[in-house]
Structures are given as C-alpha cells and as structure tokens.
C-alpha cells in the first residue's frame, strides 16, 4: 500500500494513524490498521483533520446502525446480497470511478429491514474499496428507478444511504445519479434535498436514460440503462467473499443457497446459467434451502390429478335473435372475418392465470387463510416472475423523446410499427396493439409526446 503513496501522502497517513489510534485508546476502542488509515486519508484528499472527523463519524454511524462485523452468510443478509438490489459493476466511468448500481424496483420495505439493506450495501462497498484505484478515483452511485413504484421507495433508507456515503464512508462520492425518476418521486426528493449539504446537492443529478450517457459511457452501463455492459452479480459476490476471506465452508454454503437475481434470469439467462454452473448456484428455491448443490435428489412423484379447470368459452347455443329494428345497426358477429370470430376470449400472456383461476368464494377463503403477510409474500413471488415481453425499442436513446412518460413503455411484441421510408424518423411510436372484443390486436393505445 505504501508504494501507492508519495512521500507527503505517506507522512500524513502515518500522522493520521498515530493520532486517531491515540483517540481510540482513550475510549478503549481497538486501533485501526494502516490499510484503513490510507482509505480515510484518500477519501479526504489527505487533509488530516477532515480524515479524523470522517473516521469519528464512521465509528459513530457503524455502532448506531449496527454495521460492525457483517456476516454475509446470515440468512437475512444472504438473501439481501443475492437479490441483486445492489451490485458493483466491473466497469468504471471515464475518470476511473467505480460504479455502484442500486435497483429500486427490487426493494420491498415490507420484506427487508433498513439495517439488513445497509449491511448489504456496506459489505459490497467495503469490497469495492479494496481497490486502490477506487480509493483514488472515488465512487459513482446510480439509483435506478426504472419501473419502480411508490411501494419500492423508503424515504428514511434513502436519507440514511446518502448520509452514509457522504458523511461516514471512507470513499470519494463523485456523483449520485437518479435514473428515470417517476413523477411521484419529485415531492419527496425536493424535501430530501433540503437536508443535504450544498456540496452534496451539486453532485446529485436526476437523469433519464439518454442524459445518463453524459455522465457514464455506454460501454460502462448495463444494457437495461442503454449501455452494452453485462451485469454479472453472482461473480461479483464471489469476489466479495474472497476479498473478505470468508472461510471456505461458509462461502460454499453461501453459493449453495444463492439464486440469481431477477434481471439476470430475465435478460441474461444464458450467461447466468454459466455462472450458476461455475459457482454451484441452485436454480430451484426449495432445493436451495435444504440441499447442497452436490446432493442428488430423487425426481418428484407425479402430483395427484386435479379436476380440469372450468371452461370460460361461450356455450354452443345460438345467440338471441336481433330485433328487426336494430338489424341494420348491429353487425352480424357470424359474418365477421376469421380473425375476429376465431379469436379465443381466454387468450392471455399468462395462460396459468386462467387455468388456476379460483371462484370468488375460494379467493375470499384463500385471502383469509394467508393473511396480510401471506398476501404480500404471494404478491412478491408473482412480481419477481420474468416478464414475457421486452422493451428494447422503447428504451433506445433515439426513441426516448417519443415517450411521454419515462415509465410507460411499449412492449416489443405489441408495439405499433410505423410504415415509413424515413431512416431518421424510424418506425417507433409509443403505441400498442391491444385486443378488442373477439378480435386480436383490434385497437391501438397511444401514449406519445404531448406535442
């Protein structure tokens, strides 16, 4: 570590280490290491007094928020880590700063405590700060609000993260980029800004998926933010464990139970499969909780047969006759083109929704049995399912200006494709085909720009 410092920096770090350990001895606290001393000095550009203040704040916050001796193999911390909510990209910005990505839509305040979320964040940031380059060039924190809802937002947690990053964590916070913030976020964000120091306010930016390219190059951004970089969260976690020198049995247990986060399974399925095979990630959540990835289990027996689901098709009886006075006004459904009359009214992008549909009485009984916690848990499982559609065209930078709202996108499967010869204008419009009565794709829903 000394080889990375010049003589002046090394001298300041030595003085800092001597003074801060003298202060810590007065309170019967254990001394900090040379490695940690350099981190605090780097974070404050080798201003010794500011580095001492930072270390004091660090100690107070770490005790208050219970961030000392984080155990990544503890069940609640492990689940938080493998959720993919926070990850460190293995790319940097143009100035060499590390990039931390927090995906807001993966956060459920009801299912994860603030303390556990902070532990996951600090554990990964500590690992990122093991790099001297990160210590020198700092950190860019990307808060991705793509497709997030108000239920994903925790005002107090956001304030804690900002306070921790700027006031007590030994890293240079270069920027905070809030990406695709929805309309409902503007009010709490204005309040939050009031409590930020002026210098930090200047480093917080709200950007869309085009403006973010002014801060971070596409080669360093993940694909869902308009870049070309592939996120490999599970490999990053493996690196964290190796850096923290977790004993091998604990590390093995960690990966035996790990499941790839949502965006990996949906966008990078093939790549995630290779990662899972390499590190022993079990894809089945039930097996993951009870078996090692080396264990061999017998195939499940066939489940007992259940009665077929009720049919929702119209009965094979002729429709009632249309009164003569309306005969000229109402078209005969039987004379409509095949694309109308052959359409299946039960067709759904989620066929299982029809197959497993309950009666009103059954649904009421299930809700009473599950209770509030059970319903929330069931909702989160459904929400975590990979969506069958993609939104690549809607998120392309060239099409960003054609969307009225940043969180109202067109599915690549249902979008309306314009018939145009203009290469500059492209074939994109924020409009979707939707099914009408017994006609597939019979209507268009348009949500273009206000102009």
Residue by residue, DSSP assigns 76-105 as HHHHHHHTTSEEEEEEE-TT--EEEEEEGG
pLDDT band of residue 441 (cuts 50, 70, 90) is: confident
Cα-Cα end-to-end distance for the chain? 57
CATH number of the domain where residue 168 is located: 3.40.525.10
Percentage of the chain surpassing pLDDT 70?
A: 70
Shared domain for 48 and 79, answered yes or no, is no
Shared domain for 59 and 80, answered yes or no, is no
User: What's the rounded Cα separation, in Å, for the pair 177 and 221?
Assistant: 12
pLDDT, greater one: 2 or 153: 153
Helices 75-82/114-128 angle, 10° precision: 60
Q: 71, 82, 77, 117: which is closest to 247 by C-alpha?
A: 71
Contact 125, 171 (CB under 8 A): yes
Shared domain for 132 and 241, answered yes or no, is yes
In a domain, 381, yes or no: no
Res. 327: pLDDT tops 50: no
In a domain, 301, yes or no: no
Q: Which residue has the tokens 């093939």?
A: 270
DSSP string, 134-176: HHHH-EEEEEE-TT--GGG--HHHHHHHHHHHHHTSSS-EEEE
Instruction: Provide the number of structural domains found in the chain.
Output: 2
pLDDT band of residue 448 (cuts 50, 70, 90) is: low
Shared domain for 282 and 155, answered yes or no, is yes
Task: Write the CB contacts of 322 (distance below 8 Å, at least 6 apart in sequence).
Answer: 330
Angle made by CA atoms 388, 392, 393, in degrees to the nearest 5: 125
| Cα distances (Å, whole numbers) of residue 435 to 109, 198, 311, 332, 438 | 36, 52, 20, 19, 8
The segment with the largest mean pLDDT, out of 8-17, 200-209, 350-359, is 8-17
Contact 397, 213 (CB under 8 A): yes
pLDDT, greater one: 322 or 147: 147
pLDDT tens digits for 32-66? 999 999 999 999 999 999 999 999 999 999 999 99
Number of separate helices (H) and strands (E) present in the chain: 18, 8
In a domain, 348, yes or no: no
Shared domain for 207 and 146, answered yes or no, is yes
In a domain, 324, yes or no: no
0.75 exceeded by pTM? no
pLDDT band of residue 16 (cuts 50, 70, 90) is: very high
| Cα distances (Å, whole numbers) of residue 400 to 223, 325, 392, 403, 428 | 15, 51, 11, 6, 10
Predicted local confidence at residue 249, as pLDDT: 46
User: What's the rounded Cα separation, in Å, for the pair 74 and 202?
Assistant: 38
User: What's the rounded Cα separation, in Å, for the pair 146 and 221?
Assistant: 14
Dig out the tokens for 422 from the structure.
């203009």
pLDDT band of residue 404 (cuts 50, 70, 90) is: confident
Dig out the tokens for 202 from the structure.
């200047």
Shared domain for 80 and 56, answered yes or no, is no
Q: Which residues pair with 446 in a beta bridge?
A: 431
Element (H, E) at 387: none
| Lowest-pLDDT choice from 19-23, 38-42, 166-170, 363-367 | 363-367
Domain boundary among 246, 262, 290: 290
Angle made by CA atoms 163, 167, 173, in degrees to the nearest 5: 90
| Lowest-pLDDT choice from 111-120, 213-222, 401-410 | 401-410
User: What's the rounded Cα separation, in Å, for the pair 442 and 5?
Assistant: 68
Bridge pairing between strands 139-144 and 98-103: parallel
In a domain, 96, yes or no: yes
Q: Domain residues for 181?
A: 75-290
Mean pLDDT of the chain: 76
Predicted local confidence at residue 7, as pLDDT: 93
pLDDT tens digits for 71-126? 998 999 999 999 999 999 989 999 999 999 999 999 999 999 999 999 999 999 99
Instruction: Give me the half-sphere count of Cα atoms (radius 13 Å) on the Cβ side of residue 382.
Output: 9
pLDDT, greater one: 109 or 274: 109
Predicted local confidence at residue 1, as pLDDT: 53
Shared domain for 160 and 182, answered yes or no, is yes
User: What's the rounded Cα separation, in Å, for the pair 124 and 174?
Assistant: 18
Shared domain for 11 and 156, answered yes or no, is no
Predicted local confidence at residue 440, as pLDDT: 78
pLDDT band of residue 284 (cuts 50, 70, 90) is: very low
> What mean pLDDT do residues 400-425 have?
78
pLDDT band of residue 239 (cuts 50, 70, 90) is: confident
Res. 366: pLDDT tops 90: no
Res. 330: pLDDT tops 70: no
Dig out the tokens for 400 from the structure.
């960003």
Predicted local confidence at residue 139, as pLDDT: 96
Shared domain for 103 and 137, answered yes or no, is yes
- Count of beta carbons in the 10 Å neighbourhood of residue 152: 17
- Count of beta carbons in the 10 Å neighbourhood of residue 52: 18
Predicted local confidence at residue 58, as pLDDT: 97
pLDDT, greater one: 386 or 272: 386
Domain boundary among 290, 312, 347: 290
How long is the chain? 451
Q: What's the distance, CA 74 to chain centroid?
A: 21
Predicted local confidence at residue 430, as pLDDT: 87
Predicted local confidence at residue 449, as pLDDT: 66
Task: Write the CB contacts of 312 (distance below 8 Å, at least 6 apart in sequence).
Answer: 345, 346, 354
Domain boundary among 290, 319, 342: 290
Give exposure, 107-132, as e/b (b: 16+ Cβ within 10 Å): bbeeebeeebbbbbbbbbbbbbbeee
């Amino acid at each position: 570590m000394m080889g990375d410092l010049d003589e002046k920096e090394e001298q300041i770090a030595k003085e800092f280490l001597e003074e801060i350990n003298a202060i810590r001895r007065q309170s019967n606290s254990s001394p900090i290491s040379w490695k940690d001393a350099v981190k605090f000095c780097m974070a404050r550009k080798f201003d010794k007094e500011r580095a001492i203040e930072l270390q004091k704040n660090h100690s107070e916050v770490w005790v208050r928020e219970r961030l000392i001796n984080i155990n990544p193999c503890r069940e609640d911390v492990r689940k938080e880590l493998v959720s993919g909510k926070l990850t460190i990209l293995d790319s940097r910005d143009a100035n060499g700063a590390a990039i931390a990505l927090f995906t807001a839509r993966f956060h459920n305040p009801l299912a994860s405590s603030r303390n556990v979320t902070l532990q996951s964040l600090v554990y990964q940031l500590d690992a990122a700060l093991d790099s001297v380059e990160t210590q020198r060039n700092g950190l860019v924190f990307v808060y991705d609000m793509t497709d997030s809802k108000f239920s994903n937002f925790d005002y107090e947690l956001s304030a804690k993260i900002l306070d921790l990053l700027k006031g007590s964590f030994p890293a240079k916070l270069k920027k905070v980029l809030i990406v695709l913030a929805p309309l409902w976020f503007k009010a709490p964000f204005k309040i939050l800004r009031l409590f930020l120091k002026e210098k930090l306010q200047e480093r917080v930016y709200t950007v869309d998926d085009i403006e973010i390219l002014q801060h971070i190059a596409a080669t360093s951004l993940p694909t869902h933010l308009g870049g070309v970089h592939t996120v490999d969260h599970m490999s990053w976690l493996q690196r964290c464990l190796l850096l923290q020198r977790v004993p091998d049995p604990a590390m093995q247990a960690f990966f035996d139970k790990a499941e790839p986060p949502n965006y990996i399974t949906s966008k990078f399925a093939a790549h995630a499969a290779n990662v899972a095979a390499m590190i022993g990630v079990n894809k089945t959540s039930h097996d993951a909780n009870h078996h090692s990835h080396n264990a061999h289990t017998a195939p499940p027996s066939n489940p007992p047969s259940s009665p077929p689901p009720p049919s929702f098709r119209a009965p094979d009886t002729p429709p009632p006759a249309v009164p003569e006075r309306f005969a000229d006004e109402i078209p005969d459904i039987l004379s409509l083109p095949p694309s109308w009359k052959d359409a299946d009214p039960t067709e759904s992008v989620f066929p299982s929704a029809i197959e497993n549909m309950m009666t009103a009485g059954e649904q009421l009984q299930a809700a009473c049995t599950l209770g509030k916690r059970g319903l929330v848990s069931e909702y989160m499982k459904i929400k975590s399912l990979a969506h069958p559609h993609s939104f690549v065209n809607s998120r392309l930078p060239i099409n960003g200006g054609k969307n009225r709202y940043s969180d109202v996108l067109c599915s690549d499967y249902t979008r309306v494709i314009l018939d145009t010869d203009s290469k500059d204008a492209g074939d994109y419009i924020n409009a979707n085909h939707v099914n009408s009565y017994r006609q597939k794709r019979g209507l268009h829903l348009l949500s273009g720009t206000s102009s």
